[in-house]
């Protein structure tokens, strides 16, 4: 596991690894008994279930960007307010996320994200529309 100085630094390094879509590196920041949840979906429990979800992101996504607006640490708990941007080919969607992380012994044991589903759906539709317009524009210019 890479050396970090605080739970906040662990979370920042973890999110940076995800941005690089370096799942192997991201896994070095995660505990064997990690719980990962996008509320209200069911949680992924354990590193194998977590890795499966991250590998799906790697397989189907072409980009992931994290814009941290605020980050706060209180003991082992780290709270983030951020905009996550997902990409898959020409499709791109950004949405607001609030995340709770718990770090124990330098590893993330809990990652729980909260977001507004209506915002995610709207961002996804907007991203799909932009991808369609971009694709059609290229076709008709050729």
pLDDT digits (tens, 9 = 90+) for 61-79: 678 899 999 999 999 999 9
pLDDT at residue 41 greater than cutoff 60: yes
pTM, whole model, 2 decimals?
0.82
Closest CA to 80 of 92, 70, 66: 70
Instruction: For 5-38, write each residue's pLDDT tens digit.
Output: 899 999 999 999 999 999 999 999 999 999 999 9
Would you name the residues annotated as active-site residues? 84, 113
How sure is the predictor about 59, in pLDDT bands with cuts at 50, 70 and 90?
A: confident
Sign of CA dihedral 106, 69, 19, 128: positive
Measured CA to CA, the distance from residue 97 to residue 99 in angstroms comes to: 6
Instruction: For 115-139, write each residue's pLDDT tens digit.
Output: 877 676 766 677 666 666 666 666 6
pLDDT of residue 132: 64
Give the contacts of 125 (CB within 8 A, at least 6 positions apart).
none
In this structure, whether the domain defined by 7-82+96-116 belongs to CATH 3.10.450.50 is answered with yes
Closest CA to 57 of 110, 24, 21: 21
Q: Domain-by-domain residue ranges, the chain?
A: 7-82+96-116
């Amino acid at each position: 596991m890479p050396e970090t100085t605080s739970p906040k630094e662990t979370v920042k390094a973890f999110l940076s690894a995800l941005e690089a879509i370096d799942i192997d590196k991201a896994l070095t920041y995660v505990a064997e008994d990690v719980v990962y949840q996008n509320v209200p979906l069911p949680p992924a429990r354990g590193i194998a279930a977590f890795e499966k979800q991250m590998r799906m992101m790697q397989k189907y996504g072409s980009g992931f960007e994290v814009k941290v607006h605020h980050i706060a640490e209180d003991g082992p708990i780290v709270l983030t307010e951020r905009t996550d941007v997902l990409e898959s080919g020409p499709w791109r969607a950004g949405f607001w996320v609030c995340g709770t992380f718990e770090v124990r012994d330098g590893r993330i044991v809990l990652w729980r994200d909260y977001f507004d589903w209506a915002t995610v759906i709207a961002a996804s539709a907007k991203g799909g529309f932009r991808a369609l317009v971009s694709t059609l524009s290229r076709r008709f210019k050729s």
